Structure 1
Amino acid sequence: MDLGATICTPRKPACGICPVNTACLARLAGVQADLPRKLQKAEKPVRRGTVWLGHRDGAVLLERRPERGLLGGMLGLPGDGWDGAGGPAPAPADWQKLGEVRHTFTHFHLILAVMAARIDGPASRGEWVARHRFRPADLPTVMRKAWDIARDRLEA
């Protein structure tokens, strides 16, 4: 018999019909209505990072994330690892900060600075994807949020 689901419920324990009520330590202490105590959730840590939206000649610079780890194998904007240590942009350019994206993962909050620039030279990483072949809906949610901030700045 599953007493926890049917008789000894958190909000309304039915101690009067419980087959073990005479041995129940919570009932003997008079705290049966207070148990189980809901634990406070630990505060999620906040991580910071940067993503760069590079563009040129109708294409955007995208990068495939490593297979292992968060968002493994997914395509997104080049970033700096989200550990707050910073990192180099994918190419020298006149990067402009367009805003910030806030996103919550299961175990942390993320705040990303969204940078955008036209890249005229080579990029150190990533791949150029033509805008007509690029589908923002295929991006993970956090990257789509960054895309939404930056898309109006792209060349037509």
Structure 2
Amino acid sequence: MFVSTAYAQTAAPAAGGDMIVQFLPLILIFVVFYFLLIRPQQKKMKEHKAMLSAIRRGDRVVTGGGIIGVVTKVGADDEVSVEIAENVRVRCLRSTINLVLAKTEPANGKPGDTAAPEEAKTEDAPAAGGVLGKLLGRK
């Protein structure tokens, strides 16, 4: 005869380890994507948000359109006034600022106080060289 007898096989029992082996490549791909793409992007967004919240009057900024200017007024809401040329001011949203080029120095003490920051040092504060300067014998 031309047809041989076919015997049915019983199905293999479903093992839990077999399921993990099947999903292991997908899990590894997700972990790699998290550490190479998602996490750095979240860190960058967090730094940008902190930069935007720290914008003050006098800072040089670059807007989303590439316009470089000096912040003249920071509103309570999401609005910032930027001077892009002499007597030319534009209002823009805080979120459209891409980069802060130069930060202004914070005021030390009272407005009438003209004491230099070096004069405010105490005797036991380390010199400008710090610990490394002391190790190298600098004063």
Which range, TM-score by smaller chain? under 0.3
Superposition TM-score, scaled by structure 1 size: 0.23
Superposition TM-score, scaled by structure 2 size: 0.25
Q: Tell which structure's C-alpha radius of gyration is larger.
A: 2
Query: Relative contact order (alpha carbons < 8 A, sep ≥ 6): 1 or 2 greater?
Result: 1
Q: Please identify which structure carries the higher strand content.
A: 1
